Structure 1
């Protein structure tokens, strides 16, 4: 099997695609077919030098070398996030040669976290140039002294290879800066290297590396957050990431604790390896990957081979609506809802996750928690009926205009209890608020948090939802929405509507039988 040639996450100035769920083997043909004149020139130059690029390497060149109306690079920042040994070097070699031979660049700065990595890149490019008469005749001088590695060309262009440090690159007015091992890049070196681009008419900054390592992947996390942000694609960014869509802790398991979810990529199958490794079957053998999986610690294999990264929070991108410390202060593990309770249901836009939340009185305030949060939607109606039979809630709330709206007819039908003569029809307790009422629900939830009258259990799925939520303005009010495609806010949305449903209907009185006297 040949590796997937198109990235799972693609964000370019004119298009964004974040492919979630288990990969079915389908390529993003639109991305593969895309062509840019400068990208094509760069590919042909590489071929003339005997450097034949894989389709995914060509894709990276075509997308990153798009020009704007003034003939400048549309993307100032370019990111190629792919596991080791796939062939990032081939992309970098072609890009560097294109800069100094085709695009008029006068200085290329190639940096790496460690000097031996930068030195290895120098040796690779040296071999490419030495093996091509067309290229070698353009080289005026090759610098091989330790710490001075680089090339000087007859047209005045230079390529330098440096290890990153506080001052590496400062003072060079560069046209192209390459940052290899970007997963080991904090923001500080950018302060040293970014100014080198300002004096050039057509600069570009290229980041290459593998999955995030935690706090030290600070700069990569910033770039990834830009790629995943809601709204229009970032107009100055090309971001390409090859990775699997990993299982999450909410995925179902069998009696032995093995994950049985079919919605995400299985780390043990070749297709998942192919999704994260475009060079699988080309320069990476599946048999070797299998040995890696057996030899490596699971988290290391997932990161190094499957692109599962640990990216630090971008602080100004998270907890945008409710302060983290304020939310954590409301956690009460002993809190329970009193009768009557209200339930609400919500589903994410992709319909891959649904949530049922509950709200009820707790002391002088309101208790809120997520009762169920599972993949898909096919389980919701049956589970809701079970909860209704147990709790006889005062309300079921669903946003009929949202993804969960399709569940309304089924829920009402289930609550008619046609197959149970001992139960009354409760379908009238399914409420579908108008937009004005939904915005009131969000404001009401927010006010209770600010006032300290909402109790919760500190559930992880709610914490993740709040950290990744933001406001979607609706006139002078707002609704919950997610900050990026990878965030599921359905636990939070369902909780907000459950609180509203309880507030509106917990005092409703049963009219009872008519007075015959």
Structure 2
């Protein structure tokens, strides 16, 4: 079937490098019954190697040619939006899209673009849905194939939620595709790690295939001569070294992080570190349904803003005094590549109803505060926390969650952050805060609680969380 897949890739304008033929050959291999030889497929490659390239080709082939139902999942909604945009370039934004390639778009029966419900239906019965992963996803389809993009961030709980959607695979030929980079130190994600461990064991199950490019040791990750040996797209000239160099230099000082992200270095098993500070079970115990939250009488309101450590995203949480304990929500979690002026305006117009906003983060926080002050927000509305304040903020949300002294509604980004964020040191006096790949949302919740408890401003009107 590989030849058919390669012909199709050319039809949609996707070139296939020599190394990229290997995963496509493994994924498309069928047995004498016409079933997939490899039902579970793992691909671990460094960043800037085009790891999603093969998955896009394979998924497009499955839905357009074979009429399969496919679920594409990502860890972050921003990545989901990015992948949706890449598929729209192939399929079009809707049926009858005049800007789309006609030969492909004519096969699109319907396309939905509502947030968190993005999907395509095809005239041959194929379906392609997109979903940001949660531990309690509710999906209306049964799927033949699930693609776990950003698989290094996949937890066992999320996989246990999604994998059963293939139990009644429409074509009775299910497949799970895991695509990612090595799981980072301190991450609570465990599924990709376990899959790799099985692949490298003496007797992996015969339905599993695993392709990995990476270095055996950290060494000097700034040595560019090493990059060509571990990044097959760089070695084949499919990507430019300047692009890899830019990404590496953006992480300068984080030797282990560079080795994992750009050299594909996997940590030894004992280095896959500690458990989450709050965890899924405790966080779920404080959840209330949205209708109950909407009717809840609320008092003073405050906001917390946290820019991620690499400056790539920003999360905004709101905390409000409830009848018996604070209530927190996450109305905003976006990539900073969109700019922050929308967020500036959002916070500025709410200065009359909220006591304060606490803003933290090495990248972006200063600009956000300056822009708010330029707009003339009230004195005392904007708070820049000290290291001690950040420690206090983390303790507030941690202790409240563990004691059941806060409420929140279901929210994929916040739920995942609370379920997986681990401990990181702050300062030199034993202080700690939240860390991990997706800690910003729960950190924003802590900052909002800190602002709520410490601000002396009392706006003259009460408000409801929106």
What's the TM-score bracket when you normalise by the shorter of the two chains? 0.5 to 0.7
The equivalent position to 1:217 in structure 2, one of 182, 189, 192, is 189
CA contact (8 A) 2:49 2:231 kept: yes
**How many Å apart are 1:211 and its aligned residue?**
1.1
Q: d(CA) in 1 for partners of 2:241 and 2:50? A: 16
**How many Å apart are 1:52 and its aligned residue?**
1.3
2:39 corresponds in structure 1 to 76
**How many Å apart are 1:287 and its aligned residue?**
4.1
**How many Å apart are 1:47 and its aligned residue?**
0.7
SS in 1 for 2:115: coil
The equivalent position to 2:164 in structure 1, one of 195, 215, 223, is 195
1:102 corresponds in structure 2 to 65
2:215 corresponds in structure 1 to 244
The equivalent position to 1:307 in structure 2, one of 237, 250, 264, is 264
CA contact (8 A) 2:227 2:262 kept: yes
| Distance change >3 Å, CA 288–CA 113, structure 1 → 2 | closer
CA contact (8 A) 1:225 1:314 kept: no
Q: Normalising by the residue count of structure 1, what TM-score does the alignment of the two structures yield?
A: 0.47
The equivalent position to 2:226 in structure 1, one of 262, 265, 272, is 272
Q: d(CA) in 2 for partners of 1:291 and 1:170? A: 39
The equivalent position to 2:206 in structure 1, one of 235, 238, 254, is 235
SS in 2 for 1:216: coil
Unaligned runs of 5+ in 2: 93-99, 273-466
1:205 corresponds in structure 2 to 176
SS in 2 for 1:217: coil
**How many Å apart are 1:311 and its aligned residue?**
6.0
| Distance change >3 Å, CA 293–CA 198, structure 1 → 2 | closer
Work out the number of aligned pairs and report it.
Answer: 259
**How many Å apart are 1:299 and its aligned residue?**
1.2
**How many Å apart are 1:166 and its aligned residue?**
1.8
| Distance change >3 Å, CA 287–CA 117, structure 1 → 2 | closer
Q: Which protein is bigger by CA-based radius of gyration?
A: 1
1:144 is aligned to 2:113: yes
| Distance change >3 Å, CA 114–CA 228, structure 1 → 2 | same
| Distance change >3 Å, CA 50–CA 303, structure 1 → 2 | same
Mapping of residues 58-457 of structure 1, within 5 Å = 58-105=21-68, 107-130=69-92, 131-168=100-137, 170-200=139-169, 201-214=172-185, 215-231=187-203, 233-246=204-217, 267-280=221-234, 282-290=237-245, 292-293=247-248, 295-310=252-267, 312=269
SS in 2 for 1:84: coil
Q: d(CA) in 1 for partners of 2:109 and 2:85? A: 17
Q: d(CA) in 1 for partners of 2:168 and 2:28? A: 20
Q: d(CA) in 1 for partners of 2:91 and 2:206? A: 34
CA contact (8 A) 2:48 2:244 kept: no
The CA deviation string for residues 261-290 of structure 1, in whole angstroms up to 9 with x for no partner, is xxxx76444442012212216353334544
Q: d(CA) in 2 for partners of 1:291 and 1:117? A: 20
**How many Å apart are 1:146 and its aligned residue?**
1.4
Q: d(CA) in 2 for partners of 1:238 and 1:314? A: 24
| Distance change >3 Å, CA 123–CA 223, structure 1 → 2 | same
The CA deviation string for residues 456-495 of structure 1, in whole angstroms up to 9 with x for no partner, is xxxxxxxxxxxxxxxxxxxxxxxxxxxxxxxxxxxxxxxx
| Distance change >3 Å, CA 205–CA 292, structure 1 → 2 | closer
| Distance change >3 Å, CA 310–CA 216, structure 1 → 2 | farther
**How many Å apart are 1:292 and its aligned residue?**
4.8
CA contact (8 A) 1:110 1:161 kept: yes
**How many Å apart are 1:169 and its aligned residue?**
5.4
